[in-house]
Structure 1
Amino acid sequence: MKLVWTPDTALKAYVSTVRTCENFKESSVAELLSAMAAGWNAKLIVESWSKGGPISTSIGLAVAANHTGGRHVCIVPDEGSRSEYVKAMHGAGMVETEVLVGEAEELMAGLVGVEFLVADCKRRDFVRVLRFAKLSPKGAVLACKNAFQKPVSGFRWHGVLERGTRVVKTVVLPVGQGLDMAHIGSNSGSESSKRGPSRWIKHIDQKSGEEHVFRG
């Protein structure tokens, strides 16, 4: 088994997120990540967040989880972050997200089978969020938002992920403050022999009008 792309679900999540996030900052990031999480039919969607951060991405991921019937979990470093996050999400009408408080190592160890993960490069522990992720054997999609502001020089996916993780492809997108994304292959054998034809995903930034096209 491996993750399978479902374009209809991606489109529905994208449209829902556009409507919900039209008044938020970084809405283009939220729309894209929501469409991708829904399109890959992710059942366990995890993100990291800290106090003072934009909430639009979280809304988009919650929308995606609603479309896939999945679980959306946010990990935060302290109670102050949890309180602010819950208040902001409830204000946006999102009440289903689970919020876990603590260190990245401990929290990620308890989240087994992650299929879609968003780490915020503004958080000092974003590398640990990635390194300790327990990814689904079906594969996963990982995203680092605010990638142009990484505090880590020479960042390489192979260098931060658990040894033996198969990174099928990576891409850096000029959306928001940068999205550095990686597609992790399933554990069921050679990805090249089983993967179907590549699909092109088009994303239009609602504010700038710029069109970004990349392979899914």
Structure 2
Amino acid sequence: MKLAWSPDSASKAYLDTVKSCQVLCESGVAELVAAMAAGWNAQFIVETWSQGGAIATSIGLAIARSHTGGRHVCVVPDEQSGSDYAKSVGETAGVSLPEILVGEAEEVMDGLVGIDFLVVDSRRKDFSRVFRSAKLSGKGGVLVCKNAYSRTASRFRWRSVVDEESSRRRVVRTVFLPVGKGLDMAHVSAVTGGKPGGKRWIKHFDQRSGELHVIRR
């Protein structure tokens, strides 16, 4: 089973987020992310949040969760951040507070299985490791990197956080959108058949004989 796109859910989540975030800064990011999460019918949405971060994206994801009926988790670094986060989200009428998990994102991620929509702020020093440690759903997932303009593009590639050989997944497509301070997104495939690290076909062309040899290793 693969992720399936629903335009109707995406548009509803987008419009609801517009209503809730119209007075917040960077609401364009929130609206787009909400539409993406709802459109993909994400059943397990995870995000990371640190002190001082924009709250609009969380509101958008909470609205998306209300449309998909899934689970929404926010990972914060400490109790104070969790308290401030809960207060900020709670001040928005009609938005349900997500589950708040406290701890280092990489460690918390180890206990979250089946993620199909993950949002991480690239201003975190460990943002690429957070993506790498995510345990995605068997049907695939969408990875979203916020504030992508703040990082050096040459030092980050989506394929560096998806081990295509051992996980039996691949990066289906990526897109960079100039929304807010930059959104970099990747769609990761469902788990494919075959055993990780299994045998593969290797082609070798013999220049002397002009023959093509196909070897299975």
TM-score normalized by the length of structure 1: 0.84
RMSD: 1.6
The answer to whether the aligner puts 1:157 opposite 2:158 as a matched pair is: yes
1:168 aligns with 2:172: yes
Report the alpha carbon displacement of residue 144 of structure 1 after superposing the two structures with TM: 0.1
Q: Using the TM superposition, name which of 77-86 and 149-158 deviates more.
A: 149-158
Range with bigger deviation, 152-161 or 106-115: 152-161
State whether structure 2 residue 14 is matched by structure 1 residue 18. no
Q: Hey, what does 1:119 align to over in structure 2? A: 120
Distance 2:66 2:192 in 1: 28
Match of 1:29, SS state, is: helix
Distance 1:77 1:151, change over 3 A: farther
Separation in 2, partners of 1:53, 1:96: 16
The CA distance in 2 between the partners of 1:8 and 1:2, in whole Å, is: 18
1:181 equivalent to 2:182? Answer: no
What displacement does 1:163 show?
Answer: 4.7
SS in 2 for 1:33: helix
Q: Give the total of aligned pairs.
A: 190
For residues 151 and 59 of structure 1, the distance between their equivalents in structure 2, rounded to whole angstroms, comes to 28
CA distance in 1, matches of 2:58, 2:78: 17
Deviation at 1:105, TM superposition (A): 2.0
The alignment status of 1:84 with 2:88, answered yes or no, reads no
Which runs of structure 1 show a deviation greater than 4 angstroms over 4 or more consecutive aligned residues? none
Paired with 2:161 and 2:17, the residues of 1 have a C-alpha distance of: 30
Q: Deviation of residue 111 (structure 1)? A: 0.9
2:142 aligned partner: 141
Task: Return the TM-score normalized by structure 2.
Answer: 0.84
Give the percent of matched residue pairs that are identical in Structure 1 and Structure 2: 60
Deviation at 1:153, TM superposition (A): 4.8
Residues 98-113 of structure 1 mapped to structure 2, 5 A cutoff: 98-113=99-114
For 1:85 and 1:151, how far apart are their aligned partners in 2? 28
Alignment deviations for residues 168-196 of structure 1 (CA, whole Å, 9 cap, x no partner): 0111110000001000011145xxxxxxx
Unaligned 5+ residue runs, structure 2? 194-217
- Secondary structure (helix, strand or coil) at the match of 2:3 reads coil
User: Residues 89 and 97 of structure 2 are in contact (CA less than 8 Å); yes or no, is this contact kept in structure 1?
Assistant: no
- Structure 1 unaligned segments of length 5 or more: list them: 190-216
Higher RCO (C-alpha 8 Å, min separation 6): 1
Q: Write the distance in 1 (CA, Å) between the matches of 2:127 and 2:183.
A: 13
Q: What are the superposed Cα offsets for residues 188-216 of structure 1, whole Å, 9 maximum, x if unpaired?
A: 45xxxxxxxxxxxxxxxxxxxxxxxxxxx
Aligned match of 2:129: 128
> Residue 80 of structure 1: CA displacement?
1.6
Contact 2:162–2:171 under 8 Å retained in 1: no
Matched-pair contact (CA < 8 Å) for 1:114–1:134: yes
